[in-house]
Amino acid sequence: MVSTLIAPHTETFDAPAVPASTAVQIENVSVSYPVGKKTRKTILENISLDIEEGEFVVLLGETGCGKSTLLRMILGQERPTNGRILVSGKPVERVDSRSGYVPQKYSLFPDRTVLENLVMGPETSAYHILGRLRPGFRAFRKQVREEAFRQLRHMGLQESDAAKYPHQLSGGMQQRVAIGQALMMKSRVLLMDEGFSALDPATRTSLQRLLRSVWSELKPTVVFVTHNTMEALYLGTRLIVLARPNFEDHCGSRVVLDMKLPASGMSLRSNGQEFLDLVDHVEQFSRGDRHPQPSLNGESR
C-alpha cells in the first residue's frame, strides 16, 4: 500500500507558493506518419503540457512510446503533425540556442580536445569566421575559455583533462563533458535523451548525483527521457508517463500519469517500501495496465 505522501490518487505533493513562468508549452501535439497508401501510424496523440521554469521533468515510458520523439520536437529537430510547441513563449521552428541537448550517445567532436568541444558552441554562436578577426573576439575567447575551465571543474574533471581528446576519456567522463558542453550555451532548457543508459551502474549513479547537484545549484529547466523508473523517481521533481491506451496501430501514446515529486528526490535508501510501492504504481501506467481516471470536473487524474 502506498502511503498518503505518494498515494496513487494524488498528483501533487506541495503546491508552489508563487506561480512560476512557463518554460515549455506543448499544445495539442500529435505525430503520425503514413504506412502504405491509405493508413497512418500514430506515435503521439493530443499531448498538452506546460513545463514551468526550473522544473526537472522526467518523461518515462516503454520503448517506442514516443518520448524521444517529443524531446526532439522540443529541441526543433522534428515537427509535430498537428499542434505546436513553444519554448520561452516562442514557437519552435528549428534547433536554436533556447534548448541545450545531451543525446544518448556521446555528442563530442572526436577531432577536438575537451576544451575545444566546450568552447565551440559559444564561439560559433557569437562570432562567425570573419567576425573572429575583430579585436573583441580575443577578449571574448579568453572569457569563454575561463568559463570552460570552471565548467570542467564543475563536472568533476581535472584541468589536465582539457587537452585530452574524447577517445582518451571513459564513457562517464565523456558524458560529463557533454553535459558541460550543453550548459556552456546558457540555454533556458536542458534536454537529455537517455543520457546515462550506455553507462555501467556505478558510473550511472555517479552522474545521476552530479546532474541532481547541478540542477539544485543552477535550477535550469530539465526535460530528461528515460525508461528506468527508479532513475526517474530519483532525478525528477515531476514525472510524466507516456503510454498507449490500447495497442491498435491507429492509437498513439498519451499522457497517462502526471505527478509532482519531492524536490529532494526519492530513492530506495531514503524512502524504503514507500519507494518500491511507487515504482510498482508508476510501472503499471507505463505498461498500459492502468489509465487515468476522470475526476468530477472532467479532468483526468
What's the mean pLDDT in 255-264?
95
- CA angle 214–138–129, rounded 5-degree value: 90
Place of cell 513563449: 89
The burial of 167, by beta-carbon neighbours within 10 Å (0-12 exposed, 13-18 middle, 19 or more buried), is given as exposed
pLDDT at 138: 82
What's the mean pLDDT in 224-238?
96
> Is residue 123 within 8 Å of residue 144, measured between CB atoms?
yes
pLDDT at 136: 79
pLDDT at 81: 96
What's the mean pLDDT in 195-221?
92
Residue range(s) occupied by CATH 3.40.50.300 in the chain: 20-98+189-294
pLDDT at 130: 59
Predicted confidence band of residue 295 (pLDDT cuts 50, 70, 90): very low
State yes or no: pLDDT of 257 exceeds 70: yes
Least confident window among 82-86, 148-152, 195-199, 279-283? 195-199
CA distance 226 to 230: 10
Least confident window among 18-22, 136-140, 234-238? 18-22
For the beta carbon of residue 300, count every other beta carbon within 10 angstroms. 14
In the chain, how long is the greatest CA-to-CA distance?
Answer: 67
State yes or no: pLDDT of 242 exceeds 80: yes
pLDDT at 18: 40
Name the residue among 197, 172, 300, 296 with its Cα closest to residue 243.
300
CA distance 87 to 74: 8
> Is residue 242 within 8 Å of residue 253, measured between CB atoms?
yes
Q: Which residues contact 1 (CB under 8 A, 6 or more apart)?
A: 277
State yes or no: pLDDT of 160 exceeds 80: yes
State yes or no: pLDDT of 134 exceeds 80: no
pLDDT at 287: 86
CA distance 33 to 25: 23
Per-residue pLDDT of 6-64, as tens digits, reads 444 334 334 344 445 999 999 999 999 888 787 888 999 999 999 999 999 999 999 98
> Is residue 58 within 8 Å of residue 50, measured between CB atoms?
no
pLDDT at 3: 36
CA distance 238 to 58: 6
> Is residue 162 within 8 Å of residue 149, measured between CB atoms?
yes
> Is residue 176 within 8 Å of residue 156, measured between CB atoms?
yes
CA distance 234 to 196: 13
Which architecture characterizes domain 20-98+189-294 according to CATH? 3-Layer(aba) Sandwich (3.40)
Q: Going by DSSP bridges, is the β-strand pair 56-60/221-226 parallel, antiparallel, or unpaired?
A: parallel
Measure CA 83 to chain center.
Answer: 21
Q: Which of 30-44, 59-73, 126-140 has the highest mean pLDDT?
A: 59-73
Mean pLDDT for the chain?
A: 86
Stated as kind and residue range, the H or E segment containing 230 is helix 229-235
